[in-house]
Amino acid sequence: MSSKKNILLTGGAGFIGSHLAEALARDERVGKVRLLDNLATGSLRNIERLIDLPNVEFIQGDIRDFEVCKRAAEGMDLICHQAALGSVARSIQDPLTTSAVNITGTLNVFVAAKQASIKRIVFATSSSTYGDHPGLPKQEDKIGTPLSPYAVSKRANELYASVFAMAYGLQTIGLRYFNVFGPRQDPGGPYAAVIPLFAKSLLEGKPATINGDGSHSRDFTYIENAVQANLLALFTENPEAVNQVYNIACGQQMTLLELYNILATSLTTTPIPGAVFGPEREGDVKHSLADISKAKRLLGYEVRVGVEEGLKRTIKWMSGG
């Protein structure tokens, strides 16, 4: 991979996508970066510093439209597929839209890649694919039954990737994200992720609501680690690394109550507002912790920013720093 590569980045105006767009735009291995986003959950604010750069192109379009995917793939060498409709809760409320975006949309991207003779797709999948499998830490080859339409959609992406690799020779790499967080993660709306949601409440001087008793645990993963994983996957020359899925995480467990107390201590003056405990969310996994040894071994992935440092950076950003 000596010459510069043109890369299509779907979901390029979203939280993870916009951080990736910045990294790709300044990467010397990259020629053109084409961003595709329908702006349903992404925002032009996230990429306003990029869209005037000579090597960055923005297309407003929807991956549910195959013709859009086909046009976006023209002239590209690699695809970094981040476009998706997130949230377990949203998928339970509206499984049709989750399926249309995450399954049909991803299939459109894969078919467009095949027709454009694109060599490799790196795509975002999710720790939700582990479903009801009780084992910890989570290992890539040991998954259970999905607990939500969102989890089904992400598992379907992995299965399609495997089939496209076997049937068409497409190189695919799936990255199973574990609770990615960081600057630009939207605290608004009913399906906001837990860290921006907690922070928003605390900055407003209100107690946050914790779903369940606070003992649920997650492997929170700072955005810089997810960006690094995508770059490694896009440019790896290790033949063993392709046609695989990888856990992308910090390999560290934190309960929701521990998270709340860290944020409350950092974002508020005493007394710290006590959390409000609500019902558990339907489809939620109780505990999540990743085994990241496979990504380390085959991709060279490493945790560059730990959870505590990531929270410090996120808190500084949320506080206007």
pLDDT > 90 in the chain, percent: 76
Name the CATH topology of 5-181+221-251+290-305. Rossmann fold (3.40.50)
Quick one: which of 281, 2, 299, 293 has its CA closest to 147?
281
Half-sphere exposure of 227 (CA within 13 A, CB side): 23
The pLDDT assigned to 94 comes to 97
The pLDDT assigned to 208 comes to 83
Quick one: which of 140, 126, 279, 307 has its CA closest to 216?
279
The pLDDT assigned to 206 comes to 81
Over residues 79-103, mean pLDDT: 96
Give the active site residues: 150
Confidence of residue 263 (pLDDT cuts 50, 70, 90): confident
Average pLDDT value over all residues in the chain:
93
What is the number of residues in the chain? Answer: 321
For 124, the enclosing helix (H) or strand (E) is: strand 120-126
Q: How far apart are alpha carbons 11 and 87 in whole angstroms?
A: 15
The pLDDT assigned to 193 comes to 85
The pLDDT assigned to 190 comes to 67
- 3-state SS of the chain: helix, strand, coil percent to 5? 40, 20, 40
Tens-place pLDDT, residues 129-187: 999 999 999 999 999 999 999 999 999 999 999 999 999 999 999 999 999 999 999 88
Q: Where are the alpha helices (DSSP H) in the chain?
A: 15-25, 66-73, 88-93, 95-99, 105-115, 149-168, 194-203, 223-235, 256-267, 293-299, 307-318
The pLDDT assigned to 234 comes to 98
Q: Which residue has the higher pLDDT, 20 or 284?
A: 20
Tens-place pLDDT, residues 221-235: 999 999 999 999 999
At 84, which amino acid appears?
A
Read off the pTM: 0.94
Over residues 265-272, mean pLDDT: 71
Is residue 34 over pLDDT 60?
yes
Over residues 80-103, mean pLDDT: 96
Is residue 2 over pLDDT 60?
no
Is residue 121 over pLDDT 90?
yes
At 56, which amino acid appears?
V
Over residues 104-124, mean pLDDT: 98
The pLDDT assigned to 1 comes to 43
Is residue 128 over pLDDT 70?
yes
Over residues 51-55, mean pLDDT: 95
The pLDDT assigned to 191 comes to 65
Is residue 269 over pLDDT 70?
no
> Which residues neighbour 48 within 8 Å (Cβ) at sequence distance 6 or greater?
none
Q: How far apart are alpha carbons 42 and 76 in whole angstroms?
A: 22
Confidence of residue 270 (pLDDT cuts 50, 70, 90): low
